Amino acid sequence: MLDIPLRVRVHVETPPAAQNDMGVCDAFEQNAPVGKPDAMNAPHPPKVAGIDSTVPSPAQTVPPAPLAPGTPPVTAPSTPAAPGPVLQDRLAGWVSDLTTLHELTERLARTDTLPEALEELLRAGSALVGARRGLVVLEPADGRGPDTTVGLGLGRADLGHIETVPRGALSYGRILDGLPGGDSEIAQPDLFAEDGLDPRHREVAARLGYAASYALPLHSETAGRLGAAVWLYDEPAEPGERARHLAGLYTRCATEHLARLLEVERTRADMATLREELLPSRLPRVAGVQLAARHRTGPLGGGDWYDALPLPDAALGLAVGSVTGSGPSAVAAMGRLRASLRAYAVMEGEDPVAVLSDLELLLRLTEPARSATALFAYCEPALNKITLAGAGHCPPLLIGERRTEFVETSVSAPLGMLACWEAPGVEFQAEAGETVLLYTDGLLHRTGDATDRAFARLHSAAAGVPRALRDDPDAVVDHVLRTMLPDGLDAADSPEDVVLLAARFE
């Protein structure tokens, strides 16, 4: 048996539990072999924010050569001092600033509309620059609008007073008009100490009680200049360098968010204009009939529509319908369908089945991938007689003093669903003072109820119209709309359009 001397020294002074609590580097230093240089076992200065500030000494592989006689000793360079409280305070300040900006931008990102975003911009900027009041003027440079002014701590009258000051004398006016110095921040730490301050500006500032202002442009690289934001101080003051830096960073982020919301706002406005142009601008006046209509649409724009047009022989044509889908394509299809129905109604309106048959053939030939529901009624006011036909549409509701009931119509498929559509027409008599209510299924869907329960709610709402309001079709449709969709649900954004068309026979 060979006698092999042991040359491994094991440290047993450090318990395993203590080693588990140490880092990898600390464990190696604690268990380093005896005889190594002391620098390997020297304690490390504390680490700051994950940065190891220790500069390790170069390893001595050979002993230093002896100095020649008369040679002065070489002094080793001093070891850099460990980071002190100043660096720690600076790092803590950066972390605090980043946290503040993150919280403010998160709040801004949760805004869905342009007015909400403008108000949040003013509140956040007020906290950053230390001002109590302010205003933001939205005036896109491309001239497409919308132009608006929103105030913080300023009422309509206060904003009106500020607007009486010549535009070039205001800081935001210089920014919006591109005057010299208007391409960056404009600080006015003491308005009343400025030479050449416009007299009207001095008068308004004294009246509203502000003595200093700080303005920033709202400029986006993609959208260009959108407007300007101004914060007002009650006493002579101006934000410090750190506050200006944070306000500038936040404003640049806010401007990009405003640019996106601005495009959404413009798209909604264009869609609303398009829908208004495709729907009747006003209802016709026909002897013996009073008309009223309501149209509510969602943010994407839907395909629900209505129409009322005079026909030969003192007749009146009433129509409601809905095209599948939403957005610009559905709105365009709705316009084509409505225009086609008007033409067919003029030619053969006394036969509603023929009108819808022609409409179904046109839809199947020109837009085979789309379907639609429709209801057309041919009214003879002199006789209070109504003939109608429906294609997959909800039945009309007859509202009178002695009855409130749905008109029985035959069950039929929507247009474009079958190879050939045809359904029998329905003829009924409306008594004097009764109102015929046509509507789209969006009124039922917006309630969130099952179909049978939604129909029951509609019948109850129509039956509950007060007697004093039954002679006014506008009051009737408003009452039904508020009862079916309370708490502003009729005006809330929804993917479902709502159309009501009422005709009261005298």
Q: Are strands 186-188 and 148-152 parallel, antiparallel or unpaired?
A: unpaired
Tokens of 61: 């592989």
What mean pLDDT is predicted for residues 331-354? 92
CB 465 within 8 A of CB 399: yes
Q: For residues 88 and 327, what is the distance between their CA atoms, to the nearest angstrom?
A: 55
Which residues, including other chains, have CB under 8 Å from residue 84's CB and lie 6 or more apart?
none
User: DSSP per residue over 314-331, as a string?
Assistant: TEEEEEEEEEEEESHHHH
* DSSP track, 432-501: TT-EEEEE-THHHHTTTS-HHHHHHHHHHHHHT--GGGTT-HHHHHHHHHHHHSTTTTTTS--SS-EEEE
Q: How far apart are CA 116 and CA 110, in angstroms?
A: 9
Predicted local distance difference test score (pLDDT) of residue 122? 96
**To which H or E segment does residue 504 belong?**
strand 498-505
Q: Please give the pLDDT value at position 80.
A: 54
Which fold does the domain 279-505 belong to in CATH?
Phosphatase 2c; domain 1 (3.60.40)
**pLDDT digits 0-9 by tens, 96-147:** 888 989 999 999 999 999 999 999 999 999 999 999 999 999 999 988 889 9
Q: Give the domain ranges of the chain.
A: 9-41, 98-270, 279-505
Q: Is the pLDDT of residue 339 over 80?
A: yes
Distance (Å, rounded) from C-alpha 335 to C-alpha 331? 6
pLDDT of the residue at 61: 41
pLDDT in tens, 283-328: 999 999 999 999 988 766 678 999 999 999 999 999 999 998 877 8
Amino acid at 58: P
In sequence order, what are the beta bridge partners of 306?
320
Lowest-confidence pick of 36-45, 168-177, 187-196: 36-45
- Quickly name the fold that domain 98-270 has: Beta-Lactamase (3.30.450)
Q: Which residues pair with 138 in a beta bridge?
A: 148, 227
